[in-house]
Amino acid sequence: MNILRNTASALLAAMAILGSMPTLADSTTERLDALQKRLERLEDANEVEIVQRTYGYFVDKAMWAEVADLFAESGTYEIGGRGVFIGPKRVLEYLRVGLGTERPVEGRLINHMQFQPIVTVSEDGRTAQLRMKALVMSSGGWGDVIYENCYVKENGIWKIASIRAPFVMYSSNDGWAKVTTPNTRPESFLPPPDRMPTEIYLTYPSQYIVPFHYPHPVTGKPYEGARTDQAAERIQAQ
C-alpha cells in the first residue's frame, strides 16, 4: 500500500511540473491522470480485500461485535440458506443468537479460511464487488462457501454493503459429502431473518455454481451460473 501511495505522490509531483511546462502535450497530462486513477482503484481493491480478510479472522475467533462493525448501516448479511439480516444490529443478533457465545470457547472450532479473491472496483471508486472462496472447518463439520459480496466507501472508509455466502457443500465430521444438507431452511435457525433467502438450491452432491459478478475475462461474456438440481421445485412440492 505504501508503494502505491509513494507512486501516486510521484505522479502528482510530475503533474505539477507539467503544469509549468506548457510546451508539453496535453496528452501527457491525460496519461498521468489516467495512471493516477488506476493507482487509486488498485489501492481501493487492496483495502476491500483487507476488509474481507479481516472478516474471516474475526469469524475464526467469534469476535461478533467486530464483525458487525465492518458493515455499513444498511448492510445485509446472508449466510447459506438462513435468510437476509439487515443492518449491523441484526448482523450481531444473528451471530450471537445463531452461532453462540462471543469470543473463543474451549473445544469450539470455527476456522474460516478464505482464498482466491477477485475484486472489481467501480469507475468512481465508491463501490466494489468481490468473489472469494472459503473453507469452513468447524466443530459441526466442513463447509465450502462462495462469497459474492458488495462494498461501499463511506467517508473514505470501505465497509461491507452486502455479504452473500451460499454453502455449496456441507458435510458432517463423519466424512466428506456423506450427507446432503438442504440449504434453504431459515425456519430451523434462530433468530428469524428480515428477508427470505435470495435463492433456493441444494448443496453437494447437487451442483450449484454461484453467479459471477464479472464477465468472462477473455470473451467478455456474462456468466450467470448453473445448477444440476431443481431445488425450488422439490422444496415447494413438499
What pLDDT score does 202 carry?
77
What pLDDT score does 183 carry?
61
Residue among 138, 118, 119, 135 nearest 127 (CA): 119
What pLDDT score does 23 carry?
52
The whole-number average pLDDT for the span 45-66 is: 97
What pLDDT score does 17 carry?
47
What pLDDT score does 64 carry?
97
Count Cα neighbours of 102 within 13 Å in the Cβ-side half-sphere: 11
Span 210-226, pLDDT tens digits: 999 999 999 999 987 77
Neighbours of 228 (CB within 10 A): 12
Q: How would residue 18 be classed by pLDDT, with cut points 50, 70 and 90?
A: very low
- Per the prediction, the chain carries an average pLDDT of 83
Instruction: Name the more confident of 63 and 182.
Output: 63
- Beta-bridged to residue 84, according to DSSP, are 78, 195
CATH number for region 2-237 = 3.10.450.50
Query: Considering the entire predicted model, what is its pTM?
Result: 0.81
